[in-house]
Amino acid sequence: MHNTVPSLEKKISRILLCLIVAFFLLLPVYSEPHHWELKLEIGLSGLNYQFRKYVEQFVRECSKQGISVWVYSTLRSKNLQMALYAQGRESLDVVNSLREKSGLTPIEEADNKYIVTRLKVSAHNYGLAADFVPVVDGKPQWYNDELWLRCGCIALNIGMEWGGLWKGLVDKPHIQMKNWRKVATFNHLERLIIE
């Protein structure tokens, strides 16, 4: 009898969390149009071995609920992170120079109005984050709030952090390991730079 109470409390907590997330997703927010470039990543080998298990479970759980997802970004080099961080903050020349250096295609001035990341050092730099998109009939569903919420709840139930809950720059495609800085510090103490 005692074992069912904590389990029931956990389920109720998760349901409440999903309801809270749904409430905030349905609030009117300022939304900037963004032209996404989708590249399907083949495999999850760039992920940290600890986090890869979470992402594999996430994909399986989504599939069990009838949701297809594409994971399109995992491990990022520091050059790539700096190119993404510069977007929306630096001149177009600087941004495109950094993008070229990291192997990205140039962008237009209109795209340089949008900030795409808040961090100079990201969980992606340590293989502790992944970006995904729900897919229906082979097409990414960037604006399907119901699918984002369902995926976000799955990620939260597995024990990951979901960028859809962030304040300021909401990042629905982003999932990452909880307390990723501790894991990164343990695995790469010499490389971690905390902002």
3-state secondary structure the chain: CCCHHHHHHHHHHHHHHHHHHHHHHHCCCCCCCCCCCCCCCCCCCCCCHHHHHHHHHHHHHHHHCCCEEEEEECCCCHHHHHHHHHCCCCCHHHHHHHHHHCCCCCCCHHHHHCCCCCCCCCHHHHCCEEEEEEEECCEECCCCHHHHHHHHHHHHHHCEEEHHHCCCCCCCCEEEECCHHHHHHHHCCCCCCCC
Mean pLDDT value of segment 53-64: 95
20-29, 123-132, 136-145: least confidently modelled range: 20-29
- Confidence (pLDDT) at 22: 60
Residue 70 reports pLDDT greater than 80: yes
- Confidence (pLDDT) at 11: 80
Residue 151 reports pLDDT greater than 90: yes
- Confidence (pLDDT) at 8: 80
Mean pLDDT value of segment 116-135: 94
Instruction: Considering only residues 42 and 74, tell me which one the structure prediction assigns the higher pLDDT.
Output: 74
Mean pLDDT value of segment 104-128: 93
pLDDT level of residue 156 (50, 70, 90 thresholds)? very high
25-34, 135-144, 148-157, 168-177: least confidently modelled range: 25-34
Give the whole-number percent of the chain exceeding pLDDT 90.
Answer: 64
Mean pLDDT value of segment 9-26: 71
- Confidence (pLDDT) at 186: 65
Instruction: Considering only residues 143 and 29, tell me which one the structure prediction assigns the higher pLDDT.
Output: 143
pLDDT level of residue 168 (50, 70, 90 thresholds)? confident
